[in-house]
Chain A
Amino acid sequence: MAAIRVQSLDDIVSAYFKSLGFSGKNLEKAVAALLTKHRFEIETDDVIAALEEILQKNLDENFADVDLPDMSKRAWFKTAFLLLDGAEKWGVGAFTGEIADKDYAGQIKGLNLCQVPGYKVSHMAPQKIEPPHPLKVFSRIFRGFYRNKK
């Protein structure tokens, strides 16, 4: 796996938020708010996993009705968050679930980033495509001939 060189905790959290569109003071606030609230061990991948876990928890609470597997759901949220410029609009609150704008979930869903509708399963059974048996063709001809004679 592409490894992240050992960095400070601040750097990793900061990079994570930058990837979500945070910058400048907004970024500093986000990093500070998150680090105050959560404790992390300094292992790069673990930090990212922990951040993803925080996000997932928030999504499970605020977007329980969005029926997507965990990874897709986080990615779905991030896409919408980026497209709506969530960093500017809602800051880290949208990320941790502490947010004043009660309509933000509606706005995220309103983007309608639904890749496919829910499954409604059917089954297409393979049809028989087979030539008639030569003997059966003969028997059919003779059967027809016999009937006609009658």
Chain B
Amino acid sequence: MVLPKDNLINLNPARVRNRRIKVFGLMLLSTLLATLKWISSIPTDSALPTKILMIVLFVLTFAWIALFFWSSVFGFFELWKRRKVPGIDWAEDERRLGSKIAVLMPVYNESSAEVYANLLAMAESLSQTGQGKNFDIFVLSDTTDPKVWVEEEKMWLEAKRKMPAEIDLYYRRRAKNTARKSGNIEDFCNKWGAEYDFMIVLDADSLLNGSTMVKMAQLMEVNPRTGIIQAPPMCLDGHSLFARIQQFAGKVYGPIVSAGLAYWQVGDSNYWGHNAIIRVRAFIECCGLPVLKGKAPFGGHILSHDFVEAALIRRGGWAAWLLPELKGSYEGCPPTMIDFATRDRRWCQGNLQHIKVLISKGLHPVSRIHFTIGIMSYLSSPIWLSFLLVGMAIALGRNFFPPVYFEEARTLFPVWPIFDKIGTISLFVISMFMLIFPKFLGLAVYLRNNDGAHSGGRFAALKSVLLEIVMSVLTAPIMMMFQSKFVFDILSGSDAGWSAQNRGDRGTSLREAWVRHKWHAGLGIAATVVIWFYAHALFWWMLPITLGLMFSVPLSMFLSRVRVGQFFRRHGYFIIPEENEPPLILRRARYFETLMKEAAPQYKGVELVVKDSVMNALHLMMLEVNGPAPEFDAEVADSAQIKLENYLTFGKEMDLSRNEELMLLYSPEILKTAHISMFLQD
């Protein structure tokens, strides 16, 4: 079949259309049928506005579940039949690369040892492919912590010595981190982008096999109209119970979710911000992000830039692919529920900001669907909460305001309020089925591909899925409360800010859990008491929700513990093959991490730059590339110099504030003189 000339992908547009009609048609049909049933199930004596509200909330909640369900079902068939994503030309593994690729690692106050260890492992893996010379690695720092800044410089030097000879490792830090990560990448493109054909964007905890990176570059070469290829990352190396559950869920359910998305998105896929390869020319042409009108949280710089960049690149006439076939793409997972929620707060603001972008001119309809899915993934929580509250209000109202059986106009028979209990229960069962059944589809694919030798056997996988469902039921209401609050905060104008993500295994303390969950627990207890006394019929139905909320404090602490994670591992729960037999790249990354930590300096920040000759010279060498120093108050400059003077002359602790330390680090003459004067002290 001859394809239209302007076809971006190697697939008949009718086939692409058919796929979308199937998924969205079934979603709409199932939502319509369920809504009709729901309309007939609402108590007949409810007021009209209440009925309308209940119907709207039901449609939004059910449609969301239905899309997830049908997308997963099609994803399952794709995986079961072992079909590859159609429309993209698959390059041969032996193909020699002719392109130049930059691997970008944007960092923001991260653990330098881990960042460089991951890069060393990836560089080594690239070198083993024999195509390493086509790759350069850039660490693009937006770090604001002066101590981490100096550590990054030190670790750069250490890592550079350990790098394979054919791969260059570069480091650049921005003095001002305009537009956060997207601004960081844009700065790279403006300064060095023209030198490279493609860029592979990573996150601080990303790990990509060399062969995967080479395959991504080969695919870009043989598909010249492709702008982005996303390799779905798999969560790995979690130790707390929370992280282990996530990585198990990602391993078992993730493939059908990705395959489902790839099924209907085809060449109009999304970009998740990391573990993806991008055609630099297309990115430079199409992806300069504007500053949105208005103030944060809706205006200002675009936070969740990845979705917008994918939409813009698609608008510019380039294809974007999500390819579940690309294995060897990994990322870390947040170790605790609180860390997960903190990340969610940022993502929530970024996604709600897309409301402004969603209706922008010229976007591909599928890009608009991506934005809608992103927005709904957060709005669904307050919608669900409203749905529960309205349902509870109706039940309580019935208790305080009994039904009127005889209206003012005289009738022969009483007016019985009709409530279709069986209909409501059947809708509940259908909703649960649509939420849970895809998990078993994922399990079926997982068991077919894994014989269980490295994951504790088939029974272990089954019992893990069952326990994961229990855990999801308990944690879902807590996440619903978190996300509802985030949405409320954002709508009332509160900005998320930019804090570094915690990636280390530290358990949640009682104090921390209490501060973050006290309202959840309070609400859970209050709801349980009220339901018990005034809407007793709902008690058992609401228990899965109220139970999670009531015990949110101990549950959050329990899930955050590494010891608990290991306990469940010993008993055969949530084991994935990669846990028992870690991939080579992860083992190498941990090995390099040990080496890098051994090389970590005794002193930090200004003290290190003043005491250590190599670091003094290295820091001054690197300062120029940072760009012009920011301005500091005269007061800060004076006190910083006095403290340094006292340190040099009397050996007093410097005890510099963050700004004082930054000011000194931006002062080459002071640092040089201070370093030389260290030797005069001798």
Contact = CB atoms under 8 A, between A and B. Distances in A.
Interface of A: 1-5, 7, 11-12, 14-16, 18-21, 45, 48, 68-69, 71-72, 74-76, 78-79, 82-83, 112-117, 119-132
A113 B161 CA distance: 10
B673 A72 contact: no
A5 to B, nearest CB: 7
B288 interface: yes
Given A2-B677, A124-B186, A19 B616 contact: yes
Contacts of B617: 75-76, 78-79, 82
Contact of B620 (A2, A5, A71, A117): A71
Interface residues of B, number: 64
A91 to B, nearest CB: 17
A7 B312 CA distance: 64
Contacts of A132: 359, 361
B612 to A, nearest CB: 9
Contacts of A18: 679, 682
Interface in B358-385: 359-361
Most buried by B among A5, A21, A71, A122: A122
A4 B676 contact: yes
Given A4-B677, A71-B624, A21 B284 contact: no
Contact of A72 (B308, B620, B649, B667): B620
B645 interface: yes
Contacts of B648: 2
B676 A75 contact: no
B190 interface: yes
Nearest to A21: B613
A111 B46 CA distance: 79
A68 B624 contact: yes
B191 interface: yes
Interface string B274-313: 0000000001101111111000000000000000100010
B170 A124 contact: no
A17 to B, nearest CB: 9
27 contacts: A1-B641, A1-B669, A1-B670, A2-B644, A2-B648, A15-B676, A15-B678, A19-B676, A19-B678, A68-B621, A71-B623, A72-B620, A72-B624, A116-B192, A117-B136, A117-B168, A117-B192, A119-B192, A120-B192, A121-B194, A124-B287, A127-B286, A127-B287, A128-B290, A128-B361, A129-B308, A129-B356
A71 B666 CA distance: 13
A104 B34 CA distance: 80
Contacts of A15: 676-680, 682
Contact of B675 (A19, A72, A125, A127): A19
B641 to A, nearest CB: 6
Given A21-B613, A124-B189, A124-B190, A115 B361 contact: no
Given A116-B170, A116-B192, A117-B192, A129 B292 contact: yes
Given A11-B680, A78-B617, 9 more contacts: A2-B677, A16-B679, A48-B672, A79-B621, A112-B160, A115-B621, A121-B191, A124-B189, A130-B360
Nearest to B624: A72
B417 to A, nearest CB: 43
Contacts of A71: 620, 623-624, 668
Contacts of B170: 114-117
Interface string B223-261: 000000000000000000000000000000000000000
A122 B621 contact: no
Q: Could you say which of B287, B292, B672 has the most chain A C-beta atoms within 10 Å of its C-beta? A: B672
B171 A116 contact: yes
B623 A72 contact: yes
Interface in B41-62: none
B172 interface: yes
B289 A114 contact: no
B682 A131 contact: no
B555 interface: no
B230 to A, nearest CB: 20
Given A130-B360, A131-B359, A75 B618 contact: yes
A126 B361 contact: no
Contacts of B622: 72, 115
Contacts of A112: 160, 168
Contact of A4 (B289, B616, B680): B680
Q: Which 4 residue pairs of A and B lie closest in terms of their CB atoms, listed nearest first?
A: A75-B621, A124-B288, A75-B620, A15-B679
A76 B157 CA distance: 12
Contacts of B171: 115-116
